[in-house]
């Protein structure tokens, strides 16, 4: 695999960052992950907008313009001949001194890597079992408004879920309210309404989440953003996770109990796949 | 400067980690920072004990025994001829696949770097102005019980404090209680008692914090671990921060108001310096 690192394309096996890169030292950076379809990163503009918002907040300069990143990403996809894949864009504060101060760290690192799509059996599209994590996200966490490179909490939540035989972890915030999964946003169907959690309570404003809300509007499905406790999800029908890498993933079991399916989820997933195809053309 | 990286000593300018090291991708690792005095890392055993506890929790194998790390650290100090310095030990999960799952990531990275002590004018030992951060640590955060490599919150808190003209940030937990500073533990004097915050509420069990509690016992000072709101620190006398790199740092101003000094702090700082000297001999 060829990767992009600070202006150069090079084989992954030769791609190294300095030991004193603050991304490595302190998780002092950001990333974006997105689906690539038909050679195009899906909703790249929205991902770069979120990256840029995060970079402003962190005071990291993005060393390329959105146009340049788009062009470089296209070259990366071309060089790897992977028109259907997953793209990861990474931005860190670059090399710095020991300690937390950002003073003097002004040479950011920008990297992009491409990854094969997980193999999917079309007869058995991915479905997840979810378990509630013992880890909590701070309610109102500003770090949850963009994808930071300090993701140990998510790593541990996922590992705990896998240890318990599940696919993914449902994370609550410190108020005990449903926030998100380790790697995605949650939706559920209630009284024929498509419900999700409002952002700003430890919830990442996911790009796929936004696409699903667009789809609901287009299909005339009523939506509802509401704060809920996990016990209210126990009787949910049509529970699903949205994720930029995998799209829409139905949840078939939650904390060991089966989740009732909903035909609305199939309609949304179908519409989502159509949009990805249309925009890749 | 010579650094240690996965079994090799090499110049810092040649020390690189793979782009896909999970330390870089996700902050999936740990670190320890400590004072080196007389060629010996101060309280190395306690730092390695905390590192080992964190590594167990994260399920990262430490690729060297404590004895080997001690020997390698001694070689690093010798090679750099820096008997009085700061040592940083880093452990990450190493290279892995895209995504949060830890499956298959079983080649951890261990690195050690040495850093010069900040220049100190003996007539003006460091003193800090502190401001309360707008960022909050989750109350009861398990990640706060060891030094994780996901430290963006601390980076942002320090940057915010420096923006406001202060030296360091006081972080509260999500209950609004005093937790710690971006890079240290807090102590204050109240009714001649040496007070600090109990661990387990988003508070790192600092090694220097433990040494100060030892000193208080030896000097016959009464101590008190209590949960407090930041407003109760406004009238504190003898407010100080403990930190493995810098030791005991008196706080001279808090949220713009001067802090009354306390002779007890000088006694504790004197005793601390004596212990560092004694154990370095």
User: Is residue A142 scored above 90 in pLDDT?
Assistant: no
Half-sphere exposure of B212 (CA within 13 A, CB side): 33
| Segment A138-163 mean pLDDT | 93
Mutate to test the interface with A, among B25, B110, B171 (most CBs of A within 10 A): B25
Dump strand ranges (E) for A8-127: 8-11, 16-18, 29-37, 40-41, 85-92, 109-116
CB atoms within 10 A of CB A119: 5
Q: What residue in A sits closest to B245 (Cα-Cα)?
A: A99
Residue (of B197, B200, B228, B233) closest to B212 by Cα position: B197
User: Is residue A148 scored above 80 in pLDDT?
Assistant: yes
Residue range A56-105, pLDDT digits in tens: 999 999 999 999 999 999 999 999 999 999 999 999 999 988 899 999 99
Query: What does DSSP assign to residue A42?
Result: T
| B158 and B229 housed in the same domain | yes
Structure confidence at residue A172 (pLDDT): 95
How far apart are the C-alpha atoms of A215 and A248, rounded to whole Å?
Answer: 12
Give the tokens for residue A175: 């108020």
How far apart are the C-alpha atoms of A12 and A3, rounded to whole Å?
Answer: 6
- For residue A101, the distance in angstroms to the closest alpha carbon of chain B comes to 6
The 3-state secondary structure of B90-102 reads EEECEECCCCCCC
- For residue A71, the distance in angstroms to the closest alpha carbon of chain B comes to 21
Q: Which chain A residues have a beta carbon less than 8 Å from that of B137? A: 138
Question: Is residue B47 situated within a structural domain?
Answer: yes
pLDDT above 90 as % of chain A:
87
Q: Cβ distance B247 to B5 under 8 Å?
A: no
Q: CATH number for the domain including B273?
A: 3.20.10.10
| A154 and A180 housed in the same domain | yes
Question: Is residue B226 situated within a structural domain?
Answer: yes
| B152 and B90 housed in the same domain | no
User: Is residue A237 scored above 90 in pLDDT?
Assistant: no
- For residue B203, the distance in angstroms to the closest alpha carbon of chain A comes to 15
- Tell me the C-alpha to C-alpha distance, in Å, between residue A23 and each of A105, B204, B207: 11, 21, 25
Question: Is residue A120 situated within a structural domain?
Answer: no
How far apart are the C-alpha atoms of A197 and A217, rounded to whole Å?
Answer: 17
Question: Is residue A121 situated within a structural domain?
Answer: no
Dump strand ranges (E) for A12-96: 16-18, 29-37, 40-41, 85-92
- Domain final residue, candidates A87, A115, A143: A115
Angle between helices A152-163 and B44-58 (to 10 degrees): 50
| A141 and A268 housed in the same domain | yes
Structure confidence at residue A119 (pLDDT): 81
With CB atoms and an 8 Å threshold, state whether B22 touches A155.
Answer: yes
Residue (of A155, A160, A143) closest to B30 by Cα position: A155
Question: Is residue B134 situated within a structural domain?
Answer: yes
- For residue A19, the distance in angstroms to the closest alpha carbon of chain B comes to 5
With CB atoms and an 8 Å threshold, state whether B152 touches A58.
Answer: yes
Q: Which chain A residues have a beta carbon less than 8 Å from that of B157? A: 100
Mutate to test the interface with A, among B98, B146, B164 (most CBs of A within 10 A): B98
| A135 and A102 housed in the same domain | no
How far apart are the C-alpha atoms of A195 and A198, rounded to whole Å?
Answer: 9
Mutate to test the interface with A, among B19, B153, B176, B241 (most CBs of A within 10 A): B19
Angle between helices A66-80 and A44-58 (to 10 degrees): 120
Find residue A109's DSSP bridge partners. Answer: A92
With CB atoms and an 8 Å threshold, state whether B159 touches A101.
Answer: yes
Structure confidence at residue B240 (pLDDT): 97
Structure confidence at residue B97 (pLDDT): 81
With CB atoms and an 8 Å threshold, state whether B182 touches A100.
Answer: yes
Q: What is the DSSP string of A180-210?
A: EETTBEEEEEETTEEEEPPSSSS----HHHH
CB atoms within 10 A of CB B65: 10
Give the tokens for residue A61: 């300069």
Number of domains in chain B: 2
- For residue A216, the distance in angstroms to the closest alpha carbon of chain B comes to 28
User: Is residue A27 scored above 90 in pLDDT?
Assistant: yes
| B83 and B177 housed in the same domain | no
Q: CATH number for the domain including A64?
A: 3.30.470.10
Q: Which chain B residues have a beta carbon less than 8 Å from that of A138? A: 136-138, 174
Question: Is residue A13 situated within a structural domain?
Answer: yes
Q: What residue in B sits closest to A243 (Cα-Cα)?
A: B99
User: Is residue A163 scored above 90 in pLDDT?
Assistant: yes
| A75 and A207 housed in the same domain | no
| A158 and A76 housed in the same domain | no
- Domain final residue, candidates B80, B115, B150: B115
- Please give the average pLDDT of every successive group of 10 residues along chain B, which has 281 residues: 98 97 98 97 98 97 98 98 97 92 95 92 85 91 90 97 97 94 96 92 90 97 95 89 94 95 94 95 86
- For residue B208, the distance in angstroms to the closest alpha carbon of chain A comes to 17
Q: Sort A215 into a burial class: Cβ within 10 Å, 0-12 / 13-18 / 19+.
A: buried
Structure confidence at residue B237 (pLDDT): 86
Q: Cβ distance B247 to B276 under 8 Å?
A: yes
| B245 and B218 housed in the same domain | yes
pTM of the predicted model, to two decimals?
Answer: 0.96
Question: Is residue B271 situated within a structural domain?
Answer: yes
| Segment A245-262 mean pLDDT | 94
With CB atoms and an 8 Å threshold, state whether B12 touches A22.
Answer: no
Q: Cβ distance A277 to A37 under 8 Å?
A: yes
| A139 and A75 housed in the same domain | no
- Domain final residue, candidates B84, B115, B146: B115
Three-class secondary structure of residue A7 per DSSP:
coil
Range of the domain at B41: 2-115
The total number of residues written for chain A in this structure: 281
| B132 and B100 housed in the same domain | no
Q: Cβ distance B251 to B128 under 8 Å?
A: yes
> Would you place residue A202 in the very low, low, confident or very high pLDDT band (cuts 50, 70, 90)?
confident
Q: Cβ distance A73 to A47 under 8 Å?
A: no
Question: Is residue A242 situated within a structural domain?
Answer: yes
Residue (of B5, B7, B85) closest to B39 by Cα position: B85
Q: What residue in A sits closest to B3 (Cα-Cα)?
A: A19
| A136 and A263 housed in the same domain | yes
């Amino acid at each position: 695999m060829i990767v992009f690192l600070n202006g150069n394309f090079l084989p992954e096996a030769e791609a190294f960052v300095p030991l004193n890169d603050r991304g490595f030292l302190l998780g002092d950076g950001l990333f974006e992950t997105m689906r690539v379809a038909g050679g195009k990163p899906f909703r790249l503009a929205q991902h770069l907008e979120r990256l840029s918002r995060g970079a402003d907040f962190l005071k990291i300069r993005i060393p390329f313009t959105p146009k340049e990143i788009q062009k470089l990403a296209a070259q990366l996809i071309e060089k790897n001949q992977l028109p259907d894949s997953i793209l990861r864009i990474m931005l860190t504060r670059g090399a710095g001194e020991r300690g937390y101060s950002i003073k003097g760290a002004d040479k950011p690192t920008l990297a992009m890597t491409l990854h094969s799509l997980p193999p999917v059996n079309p007869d058995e599209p991915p479905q997840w079992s979810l378990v509630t994590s013992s880890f909590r996200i701070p309610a109102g966490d500003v770090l949850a408004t963009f994808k930071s490179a300090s993701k140990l909490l998510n790593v541990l939540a996922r590992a705990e879920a896998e240890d318990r035989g599940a696919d993914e972890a449902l994370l609550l915030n410190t108020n005990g309210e449903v926030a998100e999964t380790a790697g995605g946003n949650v939706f559920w169907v209630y009284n024929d309404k498509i419900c999700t959690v409002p952002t700003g309570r430890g919830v990442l404003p996911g790009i796929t989440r936004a696409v699903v809300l667009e789809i609901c509007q287009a299909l005339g499905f009523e939506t509802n953003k509401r704060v809920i406790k996990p016990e209210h999800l126990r009787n949910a029908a049509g529970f699903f996770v949205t994720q930029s890498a995998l799209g829409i993933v139905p949840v078939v079991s939650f904390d060991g109990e089966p989740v009732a399916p909903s035909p609305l989820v199939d309609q949304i997933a179908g519409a989502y796949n159509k949009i990805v195809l249309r925009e890749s053309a």
